[in-house]
Structure 1
Amino acid sequence: MRHLKKILFFLFLSSSVLGCASIPKETPESATQAPEERFARESLSKAKELEAAGQLPEAWRQYKIALTVRPEDPAAKEGRERVEKALRKGAEEHYRAGLRMQKEGNQAQALRHYLAALRLWPDHPEALQMVMTGKPVPAEKQAARKALPQPEIKEPPERTAPEEEVFASYIDAPVREEPAVDQIAVYRDLGMELYRKGRYQDALFEFSKVLSAIPDDPVAKEHSYRSSFELAVECFQRKEYLAAKEHFLVSLKYNSNCQQCHFYIKKSEELFKEIHYKQGIEYYGKERLAEAIAEWERVRALDPHYKRVDYYIKKAKDIQRKLDELKKESIEEGQE
């Protein structure tokens, strides 16, 4: 009789404790709402604002982020294509201006235009050739390039510092020793080829060799930033938000003026916390306490003060401990 009472008490406590300890204003139904969808809408709205204000590189970035969450969104697709076309046109205009400046003997102004072209279109081969060698791409190679499909434009970097300071730092950089220049060029060219193929991690490895010899190399530095940013976006798309955060941090190492990196680092953290917090609530509602605790502990590790996560972890652990004790007592009494 005593054993039966213990079992009944255990069942009563299991249901009542879990029911009474439900989390206020948070239900499994609310956990099904996707924070990514809200984030995609915000990114799309911001992209349209930036495009209207003429801030095309920033608008392109926002459209791309929106598409990582909603790949088939027609408005985001149209916006990205529209901005890409404008960026390509701007890059070509800078390249032509650079050729005119070079023809007039103004090398410093020519270099500024070539670098500006690469900021808008990193895969512009003629501008890249002029930055690295000072010699234009042969006519036959240009014809071959035009016969091929146009490469997808990569994300222009965010720069808030005056352009003149960035370019002047490159122009005024001291001339380095020549012995390894050919090998450095090989590393740089291989890095660019890998970047164009979307092998961003491998590209970063090659660019690191260039930067170890020439820390201010503009091409290696710029494309290291872009490669890191692309890796961050890929992780973001896979909902690997902490990995995305780390890659955005690496992007900042190469471009400290990337305000978008700061913004998306914060967004990555917010999405990670919200998703795992709500996943914990869903598990809790299904009485899967161990899994709920595991989800909440991931949140607490990143932000100990997020909502009431610390309280709920303690509450769930207390419930789990009491249930375990009752189970143990029931088993012991059954063996007597």
Structure 2
Amino acid sequence: MKTSHSSFVLILLFSALLAGCAAVPSAKQVPTAFDMAKQNYLKRAAEAEGKGELVEALKFYKLALTVDPEDTQGRAALTRVETALNEAALRHYEAGIKLRENGNYNLARKEFLTALRLKPDYNDAYKMLTDKTHVVTKKFIVHVVKPGESISKLAQMYYGDYRKFPVIAAFNGLGDAADVKAGQQIRIPSVDGLEPSAPDAMKSGEIKETFEIIEPSDDEFFAFTEQKDQPLKDAKREKQEERDQVAGYRDYALELFQQKKYEEAAAELDKVLAAMPEDQTAREYAYKAHFESALRLFEEKDYIAARDKFKTSLSYKTDCQKCHSYIRQCEDSYKEFHYRNGMKLFQDQHVQEALLEWEMVAALDPSYKRTPQMIEKAKTIIKKLEELKKSR
């Protein structure tokens, strides 16, 4: 009789649990850990998009779709942001073209770099920075700038075409074609298809030998001159080109940092340090950018992402005691948040969802509080409920 009574009580218990589970909304309606992660990513993406931080928004929309590839809201938002980024990249690219045509090479480079940041696979912008062919030249003419003269006037004087001023500007390493002063010596190069015609200069014998001109595209050249007995090596030239490009990324990253766009600044600085790990300025700002980005994530309760950012910050400054402290706080907060969430779900009879929360805690710290016991209890209940379902 005692055994029969115990069996009856057990059946009542599991019937109650089954009833509780039957009252639970379907899996799509229950806020699982994955649902919460997706909603968090969508929220952060929308906030970034609202602030005009489209690169950041794109990242979080992609993360949300990684969690749930079928989410129509996230898919539509991703398409919207990608379209906006492509349009913005095109505007910066076209601005760069205009600046380059006007001889503002440094500003043009920033525009091309911005276009690449907005659209990393923008081949036209990339070619403006890296696509180079070579043209050999044997001579140039030295011209001393007189008051009122400009590079375009020199192009008209020597080439008969003021539009050829980029050749002279680039050959002389001028970041801004308008930046010339009276008394300054300017070299007028002779290149294939472009021979300077200046009888007076020719007669004065002011013809020098030069080494090589680099032609990135169209009629714009970059020249490197050396003495006869000191030819410029290809490796040296390529190294300088790399340094110039890296410097562009660093300058742009520092601008982003000053604008408090820490996540974007950190990404650019990581590129710089991958190419030039000895750059101390980039290293210092990479530490600061990752640290500030981590603080934001911590405040938003995205503890694991914050922890990883603090670890990256620590890699750039190994004596950062604050980084060690925050890494511990991130892990402790993460464990406590998911442990408590699991307890709440369990009390509300969402046993499967509670188990997922505790397993997340166990992945970080298997012995945290009563996590092992709660996991075992949840698995036992789920197993017995499944057995009861099959027996019905």
Task: Please indicate the TM-score interval, normalised by the length of the shorter structure.
Answer: 0.3 to 0.5
For normalisation by structure 1, the TM-score amounts to 0.46
Return the structure number with greater helix share.
1
Return the structure number with greater strand share.
2
Structure with greater Cα Rg: 2
For normalisation by structure 2, the TM-score amounts to 0.39
